[in-house]
Amino acid sequence: DAGVIQSPRHEVTEMGQEVTLRCKPISGHNSLFWYRQTMMRGLELLIYFNNNVPIDDSGMPEDRFSAKMPNASFSTLKIQPSEPRDSAVYFCASSSGLAGTQYFGPGTRLTVL
């Protein structure tokens, strides 16, 4: 079975550009989570959805970050405008219900120059 799919796997962009990260959860999973991993701060939960509805976005660092889940099989995390301090690995995870086990995607390594 396919796991969580993320694209792109690597993204290099210049400061000020818009960046869109994409995630396809495991089929049948109705909860989706976006995390950011950096050396300084470790793994941080940014936002999560249940049944396509955002439940908690308190981890989103600033208004430059936004996330959507237009349907059960697709979510985006957008950064506009991007800044060098946004450089990190962004992981998407999904689970069957909020109390289910979270399964992680391969991540998107973002570098903002």
Partner 1 sequence: AQSVSQHNHHVILSEAASLELGCNYSYGGTVNLFWYVQYPGQHLQLLLKYFSGDPLVKGIKGFEAEFIKSKFSFNLRKPSVQWSDTAEYFCAVRGSGNTGKLIFGQGTTLQVKP
Residues within the interface to partner 1 (CB under 8 A): 31, 33, 42-43, 45, 48, 50, 55-56, 91, 93, 95, 97-99, 101-107
Question: Rounded to an integer, what distance in angstroms lies between the CA atom of residue 47 and that of residue 33?
Answer: 6
Q: Whose Cβ is closer to partner 1: residue 75's or residue 102's?
A: 102
The Cβ of residue 37 has, within 10 Å, a number of other Cβ atoms equal to 14
Q: Whose Cβ is closer to partner 1: residue 65's or residue 90's?
A: 90
Query: Is the sign of the CA dihedral 80, 32, 51, 61 positive or negative?
Result: negative
Q: Whose Cβ is closer to partner 1: residue 16's or residue 100's?
A: 100
Q: Whose Cβ is closer to partner 1: residue 48's or residue 65's?
A: 48
* Min separation Cβ 54 and partner 1, Å: 12
* Min separation Cβ 111 and partner 1, Å: 15
Cα radius of gyration (the chain): 13
> How many residues does the structure list for the chain?
113
* Min separation Cβ 37 and partner 1, Å: 9
Measured in degrees and rounded to the nearest 5, phi and psi for residue 105 equal -85, 180
